[in-house]
Amino acid sequence: MTQPFLHRPVLLNQSLEYLNIKPGKNYLDGTLGGGGHSKMILEKSSPDGKLVGMDRDAAALMAARENLKIYGDRVLFFERNFSEMAEIKADILFDIHGVLLDLGVSSPQIDRQERGFSFQADGPLDMRMGTSPLTAERVINEYQPSELKRIFWEYGQEKFSGRIARAIVKAREISVITTTGQLAEIIRSTRPEMPTKTLSRIFQAVRIEVNDELGSLKNGLQAAVDIMAPGGRLVVLTYHSLEDGMTKQFFREQADPCTCPKGLPYCACGRKTTIKMLNRKPVVPDDDEVRQNPRSRSAHLRAAEKL
């Protein structure tokens, strides 16, 4: 029996609206999770729209298979990184009219302590969404102090990065750091009143490094634009400023790629616009949604249409 997959889809109605779901059209969900968004995509594209569902997490995929089984062969499942969606598209025979990327981790990933994502429960220092050889334990025990400081600063935007990196290095000289509890304790020891924010930031930074989340996003955004049919919609839900910044920057570059000096009467660089941005300001959850689902609080939705 699979464990229930308790994840509430974030900005669900807004995502569906921006995807512009139509009966008989086909969609790709690059971050299937338990299939919360996908279930509604399938409802709205019925009776025969297809859904390509990807997730790098085998447990998520298993839950999605169960949750979406009533849709039969309308759904194709792939245990893959969404950065590889072009390879998947090359093997399927239908057009894709929209792509959804609902980034980050799902509630079950955070809540299951054996996955090692949370500082609130003791578990192995793992943090892998998929099966990569790099684990949080390796990052914490093997990275040079300067590399630790860099990832805490770049991916966590934590101002005490240097101090925390030094404390980790000192602790690991005594014994290998193997659990989230040990890591949380070391972080706490660096300041008398440790704000929870710092713990979240450091854990977020390690998670981003372990899963190469920004590398996947960069490649995934480009692949999404490449694989969609003209008029297809790309909807991206981000949960921290690095992801949102990267998405915003990518959309801007695609919507206005010309690098010619201003005032030149014609375009000499030859770069072509590939998308139209559908919202200048990101859509965020309203107070009701945040009250009902606090994990939605940092969500930002950006959408674009392929030309």
Ligand X SMILES: C[S@@+](CC[C@H](N)C(=O)[O-])C[C@H]1O[C@@H](n2cnc3c(N)ncnc32)[C@H](O)[C@@H]1O
Give the binding site for ligand X (CB under 6 A): 7, 9, 30-31, 33-37, 54-57, 60, 81-83, 102, 104-106, 129, 216
Residue closer to ligand X (CB basis): 12 or 255: 12
Shortest reach from residue 200's CB to ligand X, in Å: 16
Q: Give me the amino acid identity at 116.
A: G
Count the helix, strand and coil residues of the chain and give each as a percent rounded to the nearest 5. Answer: 50, 15, 40
Residue closer to ligand X (CB basis): 54 or 96: 54
Shortest reach from residue 96's CB to ligand X, in Å: 16
Residue closer to ligand X (CB basis): 77 or 153: 77
Shortest reach from residue 281's CB to ligand X, in Å: 22
Rounded to an integer, what distance in angstroms lies between the CA atom of residue 34 and that of residue 105?
A: 11
Rounded to an integer, what distance in angstroms lies between the CA atom of residue 124 and that of residue 69?
A: 32
179: tokens are 């659990």
Residue closer to ligand X (CB basis): 97 or 207: 207
List own/partner pairs for 71-79 with CB under 8 A and 24 or more apart: 71/42, 74/42, 74/46, 74/48, 74/49, 74/50, 75/38, 75/42, 75/50, 75/51, 76/50, 76/51, 76/52, 77/32, 77/53, 78/52, 78/53, 78/54, 79/54, 79/55, 79/130
Shortest reach from residue 124's CB to ligand X, in Å: 17
Residue closer to ligand X (CB basis): 15 or 180: 15
Residue closer to ligand X (CB basis): 52 or 129: 129
Dihedral over Cα of 267, 268, 269, 270: its sign: positive
Shortest reach from residue 33's CB to ligand X, in Å: 3
**Cis peptide bond N-terminal to 195, omega within 30:** no
Shortest reach from residue 82's CB to ligand X, in Å: 4
